[in-house]
Amino acid sequence: MDMDFTPEQELLRESVRRTCERHSGIDVVRKLENDPVGFSPALWSALGELGLLGLTIAEEHGGQRPSGEAGVGSTGMLDAAIVYEEFGRALVPSPHFVSCVLAAGAIARHATPEQQREWLPRIAAGEAVVTVAWLEPDSGFTRRGVTATARRDGDGYRLTGVKRHVPFARAADRLLVLAKDGDDVVLALVDPTADGVALEQQLTVAGDTQYRVSFDDVRVAPAGVLGSGDAWESWNDTMLDGAILLAAQAVGGARAALELAVDYAKTRQQFDKPLGAFQALAHYLA
């Protein structure tokens, strides 16, 4: 079995790394800490030019993934993992994960064909940012953690509840909200500027851009309700795809941290020799 990356995949890695260095250096990352928008339009445009915004979206909707594969697909997942390693390496502040992976994945799995044709090409082109609102105060990642309510109102819903840790909510065109209609989980696309929606920025240790979002009897039109029936299985499968990419992002960040530590150990002098010459430190770095 050949476990090496292909020349095309190595080229992909180099292209993403160069783009991150050009548009998301450490100075940009620091500047965007606790910023209300939270990402650089120049970086977002550059990722679009590389085709990375559609990396996990099917070709029929303007993306890069071969049509007909379930979820991201094995080849698409490997390419996406390479991209996310580089995102982690550069600490890239970007709504790519919530918009192009989570929101796009849920729409591809659960929305009607008409809704897919409306939203997936716009996400793949970078014309629309869709973030996800699913985590709630004192709740977990399972179905039981969804307590926001979606009350039937004609063909639409009235949405009430509170969501936390909603990335890039102020910059998003839509919020993909998980709510309960009885025992069923409903996916709804909500305009963050709609009546009854309140955004409060949360300050985090990481300095990334997150919001607490409150929904007070927010009207969701029929067109904003994704698909029909219980959406939990579709959302759970989407989260599993996301977990793989977050792991790849963590690997990239850890690798960059190790490289910085090794470089520092080689250049920092103590007792007239580099720190790396001390066995206790060398063992850790090895």
Q: What is the pLDDT of residue 267?
A: 86
Q: In the chain, which stretches have pLDDT less than 70? A: 67-75
Structure tokens that stand for 112 in this block: 């009607």
Q: What is the pLDDT of residue 28?
A: 93
Q: What is the pLDDT of residue 71?
A: 60
Q: What is the pLDDT of residue 270?
A: 83
Q: What is the pLDDT of residue 171?
A: 95
Q: What is the pLDDT of residue 139?
A: 86
Q: What is the pLDDT of residue 268?
A: 85
Q: What does the pLDDT look like over 160-195, one tens digit per residue? A: 999 999 999 999 999 999 999 999 999 999 999 999
Q: What does the pLDDT look like over 116-130, one tens digit per residue? A: 999 999 999 999 999
